[in-house]
Amino acid sequence: MRTRAAVTRENGHLAIEEVELAPPKDQEVLVRMCSAGVCHSDLHTLRGELRAVPPLVLGHEGAGIVEAVGSRITRCKPGDRIVVNWLPACECCQTCLSGRQNLCERLASTTFKALLVDGTSRLTTADGLPLKHFLSAATMAEHAVIDESSVVPIPDGVPFDIAAVIGCAVATGVGAVTNTAQAQPGLPAAVIGCGGVGLSALLGCKLAGCNPIIAVDVLDSKLEFAKALGADDTLNSTGSEDVAKDLRAITGGGPEYVFDSVGAASTIDLAIKAVRPGGTATIVGLHAAKQAVEIPAGALVLQNKRLLGSFAGSIRPRLDLPKLLGLYLGGRLPLDDLITKRYPLDELGTAFEDMEAGRVARGVLVLAPQA
């Protein structure tokens, strides 16, 4: 079938094209995409900065309606509303069996190479160029073929755009707080970086009962979003001579938890310095993924600090995504305030620009009527 999609044929080149999408195989599903989140990971991939390289169709946050299923599908049927799980774990390798489905052993040879779980693709351009599926998802398109393991049902009452951002930004940010750091109520927390993931971590801190919660960023616009979502205090790091000292002053000795949604060498260093003795610094972002970062061993050992990495919020997708959907329905995650702008597919370039400029908390593409 033909469908429109956000295609990057080479680094830095973005076009909305009509592409060929092959039908689903026996354990795959065809989804009419209704919403897709706009994430920094998609922009990094467009620029060739991550492991998955063009040519491919962008997008990994997404939600929509099942239109067709393969002959061996048991988890869904046509007409079902679903959110895309971009971490399609095998659920049978040793890592999955140990409860670490976000680290499934087959992801490295499939999902992180922008392939479906059988190692192939269903996408080609109209002129015959093979395309890959970013993170086994390719959600920035009017239709997508995904593996059955990528399908998670959406309860009635959850809008498609909310479900889409739960699939990555919210799962990553909230999961870093509740799964990785296992934050406890009544203790101070700081979030470095107030993009979609950082703001989701802030919501995770509120969910966990942390107090106070301090948001740190270089843009006042993002700090305003953080205030609106419940930050008790904000700190623009460009106006501070010593951000770690300022955080210690605000919290009376330093936050018990620091969540770094940026993951640059400078913010990792800040997270370790700012957290109080015995506290936990959790690194969520990937800006320094290809760099060697110096770690102050004295602070870790002599002050008994913990430094944790959190990939995709340490989530178990088929367990945690339904839980997050339920928390939204129960009013525990105010995600309607997280989405600040919606765009048609043709305005994806503008959505990327707004994200980089800090004009949105989280933007989403509206690909079909919202039901």
User: How confident is the model at residue 370, as a pLDDT?
Assistant: 72
**Residue numbers of the chain with a pLDDT score lower than 70:** 371
Q: Does domain 182-309 have CATH number 3.40.309.10?
A: no
User: How confident is the model at residue 371, as a pLDDT?
Assistant: 59
The region that residue 3 occupies, defined by phi over 0 for left and psi between -120 and 50 for alpha, beta otherwise, is beta
Strand order in the sheet with 280-283: 233-236, 213-217, 189-192, 257-260, 280-283, 306-309
Q: What are φ and ψ of residue 256, in 5° steps? A: -70, -30
Q: How does DSSP classify residue 14?
A: -
Other beta carbons within 10 Å of 97 = 11
User: How confident is the model at residue 296, as a pLDDT?
Assistant: 85
Residues 6+ apart with CB under 8 A from 346: 16
How is the chain split into domains, by residue range?
Answer: 2-167+314-366, 182-309
Look at the domain 2-167+314-366 and name its fold. Quinone Oxidoreductase; Chain A, domain 1 (3.90.180)
User: How confident is the model at residue 51, as a pLDDT?
Assistant: 79
Amino acid, res. 174: V
Measure the CA–CA gap between 195 and 176, rounded to whole angstroms: 15
Chain centroid offset of residue 23 CA: 27
Taking a C-beta distance cutoff of 8 angstroms, is the pair 301, 278 a contact?
no
| Pure H helices in the chain | 40-46, 94-97, 160-165, 171-175, 196-208, 220-228, 243-251, 265-274, 297-302, 317-329, 348-357
Beta-bridge partner residues of 146: 29
Scored b (16 or more CB within 10 A) or e, 281-312 reads bbbbbbbbeeeeeeeeeebeeeeebebbebbb
- Establish whether domains 2-167+314-366 and 182-309 are of one fold: no
Residue 327 in tokens:
């928390």
User: How confident is the model at residue 50, as a pLDDT?
Assistant: 79
User: Tens digits of per-residue pLDDT, 231-288?
Assistant: 999 999 998 889 999 999 999 999 999 999 999 999 999 999 999 999 999 999 988 7
Measure the CA–CA gap between 103 and 97, rounded to whole angstroms: 11
